[in-house]
């Protein structure tokens, strides 16, 4: 399976910029609320925030890949020939696995403290 990353650039520029900014802001918020530094993302609140960020990214990628109305709104007409759903399904898979792992670690950590 060969991925063509030009497909991601078929999105309109403001959509790409907003996605990257929200993704990074969410992870910075998780690190800040978790106590700062890289370990902040590994605290329960950090894991919860990053889990939701990954879940939203997964749902966004799935909606771009499957819903024609979303595609017509978010894909730039001048770059529509580059659009391919395969790359968006791949991103949805990766972010979905990340979300599940974050929530699983969160449940495991809370479960350990309950014992």
Q: At what angle do helices 13-33 and 44-66 cross, to 10 degrees?
A: 160
Q: Are 10 and 16 in contact (CB under 8 A)?
A: no
For 77, the domain range is 8-114
The dihedral sign for the CA sequence 31, 21, 3, 55: positive
Q: Are 57 and 33 in contact (CB under 8 A)?
A: no
1 part of a folded domain: no
DSSP letter at 1 equals -
3 part of a folded domain: no
The total number of structural domains in the chain stands at 1
64 part of a folded domain: yes
What token pair was written down for 8?
């991601």
The pLDDT assigned to 35 comes to: 76
66-108 confidence digits (pLDDT tens): 999 999 999 999 988 989 899 999 999 999 999 999 999 888 8
25 part of a folded domain: yes
Count other C-beta atoms under 10 Å from residue 33's C-beta: 15
59 part of a folded domain: yes
The pLDDT assigned to 115 comes to: 47
69 part of a folded domain: yes
Q: Are 32 and 66 in contact (CB under 8 A)?
A: no
CA separation for the pair 54, 44 (Å, rounded) = 15
Which pTM value belongs to this model?
0.86
């Amino acid at each position: 399976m060969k991925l063509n990353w030009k497909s991601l650039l078929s999105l309109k520029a403001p959509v790409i910029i907003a996605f990257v900014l929200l993704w990074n802001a969410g992870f910075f918020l998780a690190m800040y609320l978790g106590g700062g530094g890289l370990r902040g993302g590994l605290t329960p609140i950090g894991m919860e925030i990053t889990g939701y960020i990954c879940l939203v990214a997964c749902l966004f990628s799935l909606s771009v890949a499957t819903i024609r109305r979303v595609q017509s709104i978010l894909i730039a007409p001048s770059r529509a020939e580059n659009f391919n759903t395969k790359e968006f399904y791949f991103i949805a898979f990766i972010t979905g696995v990340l979300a599940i792992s974050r929530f699983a670690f969160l449940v495991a950590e809370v479960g350990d403290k309950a014992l």
